Every structure is written in structure tokens, then in C-alpha cells.
Chain A
Amino acid sequence: MVLAGHAGRMTSTAPLPESPAGPAASAVGLTKTYGRGPAAVHALRGVDVTFGRGAFTAIMGPSGSGKSTLLHLLAGLDTATSGQVLLGETDLTRLDDTALTLLRRERLGFVFQQFNLLPVLTAEQNIVLPTELGGRRGRGAGAPLDREWLGVLVDVLGLRERLAHRPSELSGGQQQRVAIARALVTKPELVLADEPTGNLDSRSGAEVLDFLRRSVRELGRTVVMVTHDAVAASYADRVVLLADGALAGEVTDPTPEAVTAALDALRTSLPMAGSAR
């Protein structure tokens, strides 16, 4: 209902991607091992997963199952031990640091659990930061800021009154909404969110999730979100379950009940994996 007034503008300002051929992103035999020898931690053990273009996918699993690790690898923030990460046609594991950085700047959006806003910048400056990282000229100047799109984001996320404030003057929910606006401002191919609602009350959480879903449905964005909350996961088109660094099934068109049931099943099959929240 919050979004109703803006729906028309959202569609008009953000054209759909041209060729929806192939998945937006995928992991092929992805492994990630921290440390070596007896102290080695296998955070991911050969994960194969595809994220369809224009889909909203949730990743769930017990604590320590490798969800954040998977997300970091998809975002090119960390290097895989083996396997491939594909964003569209691009193999992220073959890019050097600069290319990865430019890719993050132009084609990816990331929402952190701890917001991670820059304390010296105002809310508005934080939101537009990714469009300004390229500077005026030079390599990877990126797309110029779409003012209209920014207006939509700000209104939809209810930040209009807070734009001039610094993060220390915002509530947790407001900070997370600023972080989401920052992730979406460049209209990235893939938005990755690590427990975006973890620090929000249920109402703000619902607003954020609703916005993520609309941006998938109406703008053709691809969103991958890690969550511990079955209700949050039910906003997604598909839920991918991870356990102990490996894929442990999935739920399509999830409902909170279906997700909870799947998680319970997972927990009984893996009694040592600890307790999911």
C-alpha cells in the first residue's frame, strides 16, 4: 500500500533488461576453505546453484552453514578456493581486483546486515555514493545518477525527511533503508542482501521486503537474500537451503509454513548443525 502511489513511475523509469537469456548468476562447484591442514574450515563444499534472472531468491540455513560466504563470493568480495562464479556471462573467479571492483560498482548491489553506512556522509550522500565513486571522468565512470530514480527510491523507502541526516542520527531501520537505496541506486543486475531485516522490527522489515519484491517483479531486478526468518523468506520466489557448506534442497513459491517445515526437516537430518533461529 505504501508503494501504490509510485508503481507507475517505477515501471516507466526502469526498463527491463534486454536479453533475459541465461541465469543472472550461478555458482559452479564452488568451494571455499578457510585455513589449511587440520584447522581447515570448509565453509562451502562444491555448491552448484543458479539464480534466475528477474527472480527473488532467499538463502536459508543454520548458523555457520556458509550463507554469508556464498553471498560474498557471489559479490566478488572474496576469492573462491575452487569452482566458478558467473554473473551473466562473466566469470568472477577470473577477474583481477580492479575488474572485480568495477563490476561491483556497476553491476552489483550489496546490503549488509550491519548497514555499514559511512558516518561522515549524510543519508543522501551515502545513497548516491556508488554513482560518484567513478569520479567525473576516467575508467568506469559508471552510469550517471538518475535523479528521478533516486526520487522514487527515497519516497518509497520513506527517507525524504531524513536525507540531510548523518547515520548516527538515524534509527536502525532508517539506516537499513538507506543501505538498500544505496544498493539499488545504480540499478544493478544483481542485488545481494545479507540478513537485511535482521535488525529491523517486523513492520519495517515487511516494508523492506515488499520493496525488494516489487523491485524484482516490476523492475526485473534479480535479488538474492540471506535470512533466518521464514516469513521474510516467504517474500521470495524460491528458497535455497544450505547446510554445512552444501546445498540441502529448496522450496519454490514458499510460504512461511513450508519454509519452517523444510528447516525443521533439515535440523532433524543434521542434529549437530546447531539451532537455526
Chain B
Amino acid sequence: MLRLTLRQARSTAGRLLLAGVAVAMGTGFVAAVLLTSALFTRTTTDSVAAQYRGADVVVRTNGTPLTDAEVADVAGAPSVAAADGRVDSGVQLVGASGTEYAGLRNTTTAPALAAADHDRLAAGELPSSSGQVALSAATAQRLGAGLGGSLSVRTYPVTTDLSGAATEPVDVPVTVVGLLSDDTGALFDSSGAVLATTADALAWSSGSYTDVSGAPLTGYSAVLVVTAPGASPQEARDAVADRLRTAGLQTQTGEWDPSQGWTGDAPPVDVLTTQQVVDSAVDSALGGTRVLTSVVLAFAAVALFVATTVITNTFSVLVAQRTHQLALLRCVGATKRQVQRSVLAEAAALGVVASSVGVLVGAGLSTVAAAVLAHLAPGVPVPTGVVLTPAAVVAPLVVGTGVTVVAALAPARAATRVSPLAALRPAAAPDLRTRTSRLRLASSLVLLLGGGVLLVGGVLLATGVFADAVNGATGTSDELAVWGVAAAVVGGMASFSGVLLGAVFLVPRAVGLVGRLVARGGGAPARLAALNAVRNPRRTASTTGALLIGTTLVALMVVGAATTSRTLAAALDRQYPVDVQVTSLGGPDGPEPLAPEVVRAATAVPGVRAWTPVLTASLTANRGTTPDPRSQTWLEAAAASRGQLASVLPDPAWVAALAPGTVVVPRDLATSLGVSDGDEVVAYPSTTQAQYDDQGTPTGWAGAAPQGHVLRVAVTDLGGYQALVLPGDLTAADPAATTSGLWVHLSADADPVAVADDVQTAVTDAGGTDASTSPVAVSGAAAERAGYERVIDTMLLVVVGLLAVAVLIALVGVANTLSLSVIERTRENAVLRALGLTRGQLRRMLALEGALVAGVGGLLGVVLGSLYGWAGAASLLGGAAAAGGSAIWTPELPWGRLALLLGVAVAAGLLASVLPARRAVRTPPVAALAEQ
């Protein structure tokens, strides 16, 4: 029986090829993730371990540096052969061609520890007396100092003089006696770029630690300990800890552990074995990587799930095509079990072969990734080659094979469910009105509706629609938002499961509908393509379902990202209504106007479309018509003509109400001031001093009561916290108002980050170094908004790239199903050819079939994904959504990208038909007719 299975598998190897490709892609993904993660773990471990090479135990301080006496204590502890103080600090190096800040470390004297230093020496020797340094070759080259050359070490002596007088740096001349190779550990070990004698290192790093009064403390940041022969690192560690404790130091020998007597954040001294140090360093360094690895593995799981669908489908089709053969086997006496086992054995063989290929491909990918990374970031020491950990090899193999066998279980059972004689009769179309089908339909609807309700409710909850109703306050809206997001996520997943479960009802109908539309203009071949596409509803549904998963997720990400960035942009618009704001910060004597040359320079930058100087003043105001020190609030105001303001604001309607005697107040500011549209406020200079009683409560005016200028409030959608008035009103309120601001509006096609940078540069250059000019700040929404967009775009790119694997696998599935269907329909296609269907028409017919299946999958995915993406963005951005106003309620649909997604699906469907069509048109009609 096994031999028969193998013979069968070999004869259908071609048919299994695409299923194998799907498995290989999924396992390759997993393998690449695991291998890359292993690679980074190894790199980190190596570089951390390199720092403490030779040491068995490390004593590290978390506060006050360790003294020579303490080092001697450690050295004197039992089980300790040698102990050496380690200075880990940094220095400013000054060379002929530049200065550079480099890590500083002392050379070691213990022979067991010195080997590490010697190994790093590329040329020359290690520093042995004061004034000598060894430094990395690259640093030496950048500074323009060769072996034997001289440099200065710039130190900043810390004085106890607290008068605030600046300490003058002192340059100490040194000679370069050695060059270090810098290939190892540069990533995490920043301490090794400069080596100096212990005395020099201590002297130069004296600024690193100060006592409470600011007096410098000299000492070691760590002590490296070599154990005595016969003693374990643990014994030495405990002995050292005991010795230090008796010397009066709080120590700890492991994780933070209150039972060891220390209850603060961290004890002053850690005594750890080197292994402990490496483990914890790797843990903290890779904490982020681990999260990343699990996120990426989640995408790999999606890809594998899609692959499982594809494989299940393949085996169902294969079994269906082989029903005849299997039934014959059953007729001549093969048991059910034998038939099932033959199908499963075939799956297992496929799984093993395909997963092995996948692991190889994954290893190749991670090697390429490492190489690309090394190329892009030459400073990062990425080891070449892959680190083959058992987990990274075995896990994908097991997962890949397991997934394949599991995928074949249902088809294997189906292979024997029918009686041998029934299987020999031609198969009728599957009945979708059976009891299990009804059950499926019912549960699909329950999931869909229940999930949908949960999703909508969650979104509403998260965006704070119910906040007022539930709490009457917005205080706990955060908590509600978390629940809302959770409900939305669960609802989304449930409803999508409903869609997948109900795909067998939904998809064929959708394909049929679209097919009929397409067939209307295409004659018989188009009609046949449409009919063939839904000929086997289950097959069509699972093929499309696989694609649906990928396209839905991609569309979700695309729409979610677009909606998020639009909402954030709206929020930013409200926060910073002006693209770029150049502001004179004023001198010690109060506000100063912007220098004309600064204005000229800033407005000459290309990409600036409109600009206006604004008069600004810090006012004090209170409601009513007379100044009242008891209810006064701070009011920042800016002024320019209405036309000028309209030209630099995104929405001119914001300043439409601006008129003499009116102050335009941003909505948020109005809320915090407690004023509303139509209220009257009186404004006066903020320099007006109030008089306070003992409790600090204002009672009256320190001098003469201010005159005050009465303004009528117009609340608009303007963002920010700056009120707008006309220049006349502003000078009336505060005669000291100056033209200290410049508001700039950028061209729509300008790169906001670049232009903002250019403005900053222009302003800096124009301001010069003259200390008399007041400092000028450049701020604004444009650069920040562009920054957000860039982050979102990058994330989108990465996520879509990861999801692309799942989409690709699903498309392989489309090709697979189509090829198998074409094989199944060899005879029919031959009849069509005999009746007068040209080769081109046959090709087009198959292409249309592929495009229909893929296109409908893509279309459903785009629609569903857009809904989910919008809902996701709305619920996650609950808070920001409020800041962005109503922006969240209209989904941002990036039509171009969605059309591209759909286009890719349709094009892939067309492409998927190429190979099957080749086969179909190559077979001469007679040969195909002869085939039974």
C-alpha cells in the first residue's frame, strides 16, 4: 500500500508542486524569523560577553564608584584569585582633524584578564604609563592621528565652586601607542574605543561621579573577579558579596529581591557571575526584539493558516479527482484505514519535503537580510552567515509538516466516506442544503451579526460617544475606551470568522454575480468561465477564503493607516494651525520684534507659499467689561489683518468672524477659559500686577487699575491656544505688543520636513552669533505632521510586506486550484476546442476564471478590510479622534492603494491561469477526447 502511495504521489508530483510551494513559503517565513532572531541573540551575547572576558564574577556599582579599598576587599575574599577595578567612562578626544567622544576604559593588570586587551591590539602596544592611549583604528583615523601620533584628551574639571562660573576645559596631551581592532562588540560595548592606564582613566573620568555637594568622586564602575582554582563562580560570588557586606556595602547577588534586605530601587552594588550579567544584558537588549519576533511570528501564523487552507483545498481536489481510483482500491479490498493512511502518508511526505525547502529558503533569506543590514549600516557588527539553532530549524520543520498533515485530515476522511460503488458513479455537485450546511450557515450568521454588533458598540464606546451618557463626565473615558477597543477587536475577529465560515455561501454567489456581469459582453467563453468558477462552491469558497484573509488584512492596514494619519493630521491642525511659526523669544528686557533680516531669510526659503508677520502679546483677561484681578486669566494673542491670517491658515473660515472689537478664540481655549460665543471679555497687559493677601488670593491692583480693552468673543474651529484679534485691538489692549511672530504657510507640494529644516537653517544663519539678537524659535505642525506620516507609512510598508507573504501564498492557492480544475476538465476543454473554440479563446476563458475568483476575493477583502481598518482606527484613536473633531467619522479611503491591491489580486488571478492554460491548449483535442 505504501508503495502504491508513493507511486501515486510521484505521478501527481506536479499537482502537489504548488501546494508544496505554499507550505515552503509559510515555513520559510517562520524559519527566517526564528533564524534572524537567533542571529541577533548570538550577536548580543557575544558582544556583552566580550566586555567581561576572562572574568568569572563581576561586581558592579549602581551608584557611588568603588574605591581601591573595596577592590582590595574583593581581591582578599576567599575563592578569589584576582580582582581588578574597571573604569568604564568616556572622554572627549581632540585631534588634528576633529574631535570625537569615545568610550574610555582602563587596561587591566591581572594576567587572566589582560588577554582580552591584548587580543584587541591590532598594532603597537597597550598603554603602560601615564599619557599613553590605545584607541580604535577607525577613531584614530577620523581624528587624524596615527600610531605614535599625539592627541589631546579634553577634561572638564569639576569644581566645588557653586557660583555657576563655567569651568574651563583642560586639554591633556597624550600619545597614541596602540591601535585596536574594532570589529567586535562596537554595537553594545561602547566602552572600548580608548584604553588608558588605570591612573589616567581614573583621572579623566573624575567628572563622571560627584557626591551630593557636587564634589567629584573617583573610582571604578566595576570589579572583575577571577576565581581561584577549584572554586565555582557562584562560590566566589557569594564570598565576595559576604566580604563587601561586612565592609558595610549593600549588595545583591541576583535579580532584585527584597528578601536580601534591600528595599530601594536597586542596591548600591550588584555581585553577579559573568553568566548572570550576560543573561540580563541580553534580556534587556533583546526585550524589544522578542516583542518584535512574536509580532512577526503572528504574521507568519497568518501565512501558515493561509497555507493550511491552500493545502486542504489541494488535497480535497486531489482526492476528488482520485475518488475513482480510491474507490477501485476499496472495491478490490483495501480497507478504509489503508486508503486514509495513503492520503496522510502522501501529505506527510509533501510536508517534510516542502518544510525542508522552506527552512533552506528561510536560512537564505535571513542571510540575505543580515548581509543587507551589514551593507546598510556598516557600523553595526552583524555576523555573516546564519546561526542554526535547533529551535530555528526543528520548529519550522515540525510546524510545516504538522500543518500539512492536519490539512490533509479532512480530505483523507472524505476519501473514504462514500461507499466504494457510489464513488465510481460520476460525482454530483455538492449539496449546500444539508443539515451540517444549515448549521454552518446559522453559526456563520450568528458570528457575523454578533461580531458586527460588538464591533460597532466597541467603536462607539472607544470614541467616547457613550462617555457622557454612562458617566456624566469624561473622567473615566479612558477606561471605557480600553473596553471599547477590546470589544471592537473581539467583534472584528468574530465577524471575520463568520465571513470565512459563510464563505461557501457568500463567495460563489458573489463570483456568480460578478461573473454574470462580465459574461454579458463576452459570449459563450465568458459565460463558461463564470459557470466554471462556481462549479464547485466549496473549492471556490476555500480558494477565495485564503485570499480573503490576506487582502482583508492588507486593506485593513492601508485604510487604518490612512484614517489614522488623517485623524492625527486633523488633530495637529487643531493644535498647531500654522505650518511653520517663527517666533522671537524676546530678551531679558521683554519682547523684541523679529529682526527684518530673519524675516527676509525665512520667507525666501523655497516651498514657502504665504506668510504674514504677526503682532503678539501676552495679555491678561477676564470676563465682563471691567478688569478684575480675582478672575483674571492668561491670554496669548496674535494679530494681523483678516486677509493675512486667512492666507496662512488651512481654513479661512476660522477667521471669518474677525472684525474690530472681536476676538477669535479657539474652541479648546474657550472651554478652558469658560467663555462662549458672544461673551464679552476685557483684556489688559499681563504686566499689570495684582495685589495678594496672605493666602495668596488677589485682592486688588498693585498699582493703578488697568484700562482694559473690551472684546466680543467669537469661538471658531481654529486650533491651538492663541486668540486672534486685529492689530488695532491688540495695541489697544497692550501697547507693548510687538511684531515678534512670523506665520508661514507651505506649498502643498513642498516637503514639510525639508522646508521646516531650511527655515530653521535660514533663521539661524540670519540671526548670526551676535549675542544681542534675541533667540528665535521655529516650530509648527508641518514637520510634525510629516513626521507622523512618515512613521505610519514606514510601519504600513513593513506590515504590508509581512502580510504580502500570506497574500502570495493565497495566490499560489488560486493557481493551484485552477491547475487542478483544468486537469479535471481536460475532456471538456477538448470538446470546446472541437466545437470551434480557438486556443486564444480557451486561454482567455481560463484567465477570466482565475481573475474572477481572485478578483472577487480581492474585492471582498478590500471592502471588509476597509470597514475593519476604519473601525480599528476609530476605536484605537478614540482620544485623538476627539481632538481631531469629526474627522474620524469619515473613513479615509486611499483609493489608489486599494485599487492597486485589487489590481494585484486580479492580475495574479490572470497570471495564475497562464500555466494551466498552457497545458490546456497544448493538448490536441483528439488526445484529450481519448482520455477517460
Contacts and interface: CB of A to CB of B under 8 A. Distances in A.
Given A118-B831, A168-B428, A101 B837 contact: yes
Interface stretch (A130-138, A252-260, A264-272): A130-138
A75 interface: yes
A77 B925 contact: yes
A101 B921 CA distance: 12
A129 B831 CA distance: 11
Q: Tell me which of A72, A77, A136 has the highest count of chain B C-beta atoms within 10 A of its own C-beta.
A: A77
Given A101-B837, A104-B834, A110-B834, A133 B525 contact: yes
B522 A135 contact: yes
Contacts of A133: 523-525, 832, 835-837, 841
Nearest to A186: B836
Query: Size band of the A side of the interface?
Result: 20 to 34
Interface string A105-142: 11000101000101111000100011011111000101
Contacts, number: 82
Q: Tell me which of B526, B828, B841 has the highest count of chain A C-beta atoms within 10 A of its own C-beta.
A: B841
B524 A78 contact: no
Chain B: interface secondary structure?
helix
A101 B833 contact: yes
A98 B834 contact: no
Contact of A116 (B428, B526, B527, B929): B929
Contacts of A125: 527
Given A102-B836, A133-B841, A118 B428 contact: no
A155 B627 CA distance: 104
B840 interface: yes
B838 A102 contact: yes
B522 A118 contact: no
A118 B832 contact: yes
Given A120-B532, A121-B531, A133-B525, A77 B834 contact: yes
A182 interface: yes
A130 B836 contact: yes
B534 to A, nearest CB: 9
Contacts of B831: 112, 116, 118
Contact of B828 (A79, A119, A132): A119
Contact of A101 (B521, B535, B839, B926): B839
Interface in B189-220: none
Contacts of A89: none
A135 B926 contact: no
A120 B531 contact: yes
A146 interface: no
Contact of A106 (B525, B528, B531, B836): B836
A148 interface: no
Given A112-B831, A168-B428, A101 B523 contact: no
Nearest to A168: B428
B535 to A, nearest CB: 6
Given A102-B838, A116-B827, A116-B929, A134 B523 contact: yes
A132 B926 contact: no
B624 interface: no
A120 B623 CA distance: 81
A158 B828 CA distance: 25
A205 to B, nearest CB: 22
Given A77-B834, A120-B528, 14 more contacts: A72-B926, A77-B929, A78-B924, A78-B926, A97-B839, A98-B839, A101-B833, A105-B837, A110-B834, A112-B831, A116-B828, A118-B831, A121-B531, A140-B836
CB-based closest 10 A-B pairs: A105-B836, A135-B523, A132-B524, A120-B531, A116-B831, A78-B926, A101-B838, A104-B836, A77-B925, A77-B926
Interface of A: 72, 75, 77-79, 97-98, 101-102, 104-106, 110, 112, 116, 118-121, 125, 129-130, 132-136, 140, 142, 168, 182
26 contacts: A97-B839, A98-B838, A98-B839, A101-B837, A101-B839, A102-B836, A105-B835, A106-B836, A116-B828, A118-B831, A119-B828, A120-B528, A120-B535, A121-B531, A130-B835, A130-B836, A133-B523, A133-B524, A133-B835, A133-B841, A134-B523, A135-B522, A135-B525, A135-B526, A136-B521, A168-B426
